[in-house]
Structure 1
C-alpha cells in the first residue's frame, strides 16, 4: 500500500457579504484556516455593487499560494 501526500500550491477562494466588516471577517477566518495548510495570501481583488434599491453588496477573490 502506498501513501502519497501532495501539497496544495495554489488556491482561489470567493467571498461575499452585505457589509465590508463581515467580508473582512470572513476573509480573516479563512486566512487563519489556510495557515494550517501552509498557504499565505498572494493577492486580493474586491468589488462593491449597489443594486437599484441602493443596497450595497461586497465581494472579494483571494488567491492563496504555498509559503516557501
Structure 2
C-alpha cells in the first residue's frame, strides 16, 4: 500500500448563516484552518436571499482559496 501526498492548489468553500456576523465568524475560522495548508483567500463572493419557508434572510458566501 502506498500513500501519495499532493499539495492542494485550489479550494472553494461555501458558507451559509442566518446573520452576517455568524457568516463572518465561519469564514474567519476556516481562513485560520486553511493557513495550515498554506492557502490564502483569493476571492470572496457573497449574497443574501430570502428563505421561501421562513421568509428570513439567509447570508451565503463562497470563498476561493489558492496556494501561496
**TM-score category of the 2 structures, normalised to the smaller one:** 0.7 to 0.9
TM-score, normalised to structure 1, is 0.87
CA RMSD of superposed structures (Å): 1.8
> Runs of 5+ in structure 2 lacking a partner?
none
The aligned residue for residue 38 of structure 1 is 38
Q: 1:20 to 1:4 in 2, by over 3 A?
A: same
Runs of 4+ in 1 over 4 A off after TM superposition: none
Aligned length, in residue pairs: 67
> Runs of 5+ in structure 1 lacking a partner?
none
Deviation at residue 25 of structure 1 after TM alignment: 0.2
TM-score, normalised to structure 2, is 0.87
